[in-house]
Structure 1
């Protein structure tokens, strides 16, 4: 019984930590550590993932998607907090302690694991299990790429890619690992992502009943996100490219909103709340 209660409480603890990290990011953004709009948007996105994950993991603890969303929420929050913390520390002439280590944790954790978690969530949706054993290599390869990428980002010497400060844990022996990681990411991540999305739409075509309704929720949210990306690119062209503030602000805002729809739609589908409203 105690183990069960701990399993129920853990998702809400993760959500609480995510909210605290989001608040810290926004506070530092207000203080001038980084672009406040960017900080608020990414922090809010992380809370959406963590909140959806907490709901799913607490009500369906056997479904791995809830736990993946909880982890993704934390990754988003660590990522944006690292960015604003390092930026604010630079403005404060190094007043904030541990800037290099905060940037280090943020870089290797967020950049390496977020793509793999997205791939796994697509592969596991909606049951929390792979569609069949033949998809296991896809999940294993995606996980392996994330581990190699994380090790490379954590150990490669030189400046941290996102922050311009020296890697405090860099070692010369890891230089070759960076090349392996970059090649694996370039060659494997996009095909794996496409495979995971294709698997969802293939299952939608074969499905019926409740599973079909669950997959429809994802399909509509994904279609909305794809439409937004196309419209954003068209808007950028019409307004003269990336130098235009409107061309940058509106697409980013709509992207965050439509991206937030993915975990929310998947959460509704998994929990089967108002499932048939999609029709």
Structure 2
């Protein structure tokens, strides 16, 4: 509870402190203008404003992070110092006696800059999550704080004017004669300690982030980006300051460069705030790339201009400076145009991929797909090509048959582009580039073109898979046919060899014995035995023939054979209702056998297992299909009950002819067997493949 209350108070205090700092800054600027300060002397107020705003945001949203409070402290110290110093300068020096308490307010201006600098220097030690870099930094921090406190005490009684207030300043009303050397020494030590701590802590942050990943790495990138820009601006100011003909390192009274310096330092604080609050954190990669292009182009153009002007100026007198400058600008422009185009193209490829050259992407996709032999590699090749072409964070291809291939981590709401090749075949799922929140119109147009080609490739893969599956099914069907044929041949051979063969051999031997005996009672008995055995042999032959094909089909047709089978049912069985057209068309022999066997098996199941009262058998002809329905009103099958041998046999007979057989059943609703078989088959010449050889 105490922690929540403290956090609430901290949030409530953050914005008032920020507002107070901004008001003091506005007052300081107004007073500085009244005191005659040039515009270049106001550039440091950018840092004060940045400290106030960033500190207020971080303190309000992350009250437990010291970075926000340190930034607020620094901004408030500098704003109060400037406001008090300018107020005192106006009331004491510019217009004496015009402002009350002006002399007394000259005192805070002498020492507030010291804690302001120290607060800024301590920020890297708590970046980015508010935790100290390491416990070993505590003694160093206390050393900086102690030196800062010592410098504050000594500078609070430093005599004379504060040189940091421009353009004029008032003397310290509490100054003590003789303390200036000590105050200067302690102030220098405090500033030196703050600077060393700032660079050491910043370097430690970068060093610890070498192996960081994800958000932590992006946070450090923001800090590095801002510091890099500041270094570039400082380098530019040094170059201009050393070449402007005035003493000093930086440009003399140059408002543009002064404000550039203030803005660059302020950018460091803004980057700290973005990194800590994680606002648009991953935009940094795109921002760094674009900044690199701008800096490189500017350096190239400036270098080309200086080089051309220098070369041309060496051959002309100083009176021709305008023509020389014009010629230098023209040559620099001529050099810059192709360089800009080349560099911009390279950076666009680095940042955006090849969205500006859709033909190259389409051609590469086509070439890679042509070289892909394995159907499973089509998805991976297409996915890799799309991601490589546009530098996307996530690409996935999903097909309607459940196959997929992905690259990258999926975003919360990926862009979905349908893959169509005459019919929907899948989807292309995409995530924007790192640092972007959506895909642009140019990317979407290119992706739509790629999706059409990928859809065709996916459809080809599906067709190839289906063809391979059908080929495998055909091969398995052929193997089953061969196995069934050989099993049937073996059964026939066994029946002929073990049954009919010995019977016929015995008949032959007894007939020869009866012939040798001659007429008589013994011969007559042997002839009677021969007749009995011959009838048995005939019955065996008929049994073998019936096993090959029910003879009733040849004499009565399919409908008649089923009626004959139903008529032979036991009286105790369920009542059978049979319906069939008056005249069935000529059916292939295989269709007749399959329909007869399926119907008989279904009737047997109904009689043995269903406990049905009535069984309906119906034959219908629809187009080129024969439909067989066998429906009973029995108890039905229990859920999860496995199929028996008869069920598998019925389905296999239908599948062998290219038809289908379905069995639907539920407790209390009975069982329905539906077989759909072709009424036409392709006849082949030659010997019967099922004949024994």
For residues 35 and 245 of structure 1, do their structure 2 counterparts lie closer, same or farther at Cα, with a shift above 3 Å needed? Answer: farther
| Match 1:209 to one of 214, 230, 255 | 214
**Higher radius of gyration, 1 or 2:** 2
Which residue in the other structure is 2:136 paired with?
134
Q: Does 1:7 align with 2:10?
A: yes
For residues 62-88 of structure 1, the C-alpha deviation after alignment (integer angstroms, 9 at most, x for no partner) is 000001111111122123223322332
Consecutive unaligned residues of structure 2, counting only runs of 5 or more, are 286-693
Secondary structure in structure 2 of the residue aligned to 1:99: coil
- Further displaced range: 243-252 or 5-14: 243-252
- Further displaced range: 235-244 or 200-209: 235-244
Contact 1:242 1:248 in 2 (8 A): no
Contact 2:40 2:255 in 1 (8 A): no
Name the one with the larger helix percent. 1
Which residue in the other structure is 1:269 paired with?
275
- Further displaced range: 131-140 or 176-185: 176-185
Contact 1:241 1:247 in 2 (8 A): no
Deviation at 1:185, TM superposition (A): 3.3
Name the one with the larger strand percent. 2
For residues 101 and 128 of structure 1, do their structure 2 counterparts lie closer, same or farther at Cα, with a shift above 3 Å needed? Answer: farther
Q: Which has the higher contact order (CA 8 A, sep 6+)?
A: 1
Trace 1:148-163 onto structure 2 (pairs within 5 A).
148-156=150-158, 158-162=159-163
Contact 2:241 2:251 in 1 (8 A): no
Deviation at 1:122, TM superposition (A): 1.2
Contact 1:39 1:80 in 2 (8 A): no
CA RMSD of aligned residues (A): 2.6
Q: How far, CA to CA, are the matches of 2:55 and 2:116 in structure 1?
A: 14
Secondary structure in structure 1 of the residue aligned to 2:254: helix
Which residue in the other structure is 2:115 paired with?
113
Q: How far, CA to CA, are the matches of 1:15 and 1:199 in structure 2?
A: 29
Q: Aligned pairs, how many?
A: 276
For residues 3 and 126 of structure 1, do their structure 2 counterparts lie closer, same or farther at Cα, with a shift above 3 Å needed? Answer: closer
Which residue in the other structure is 1:22 paired with?
25
Q: How far, CA to CA, are the matches of 1:210 and 1:51 in structure 2?
A: 23
For residues 168-221 of structure 1, the C-alpha deviation after alignment (integer angstroms, 9 at most, x for no partner) is 223469678536614633763433232122212212324222111111111110
Which residue in the other structure is 2:175 paired with?
170
Which residue in the other structure is 1:220 paired with?
225
- Further displaced range: 74-83 or 170-179: 170-179
Which residue in the other structure is 1:47 paired with?
49
Q: Does 1:98 align with 2:97?
A: no
What's the TM-score once normalised by structure 2's chain length?
Answer: 0.37
Q: How far, CA to CA, are the matches of 1:206 and 1:215 in structure 2?
A: 11
Q: How far, CA to CA, are the matches of 1:108 and 1:27 in structure 2?
A: 22
Q: How far, CA to CA, are the matches of 1:247 and 1:25 in structure 2?
A: 20
Consecutive unaligned residues of structure 1, counting only runs of 5 or more, are none
Contact 1:43 1:80 in 2 (8 A): no
Contact 2:160 2:175 in 1 (8 A): no
| Match 2:261 to one of 240, 255, 259 | 255
Which residue in the other structure is 1:67 paired with?
69
Deviation at 1:153, TM superposition (A): 0.7
What's the TM-score once normalised by structure 1's chain length?
Answer: 0.88
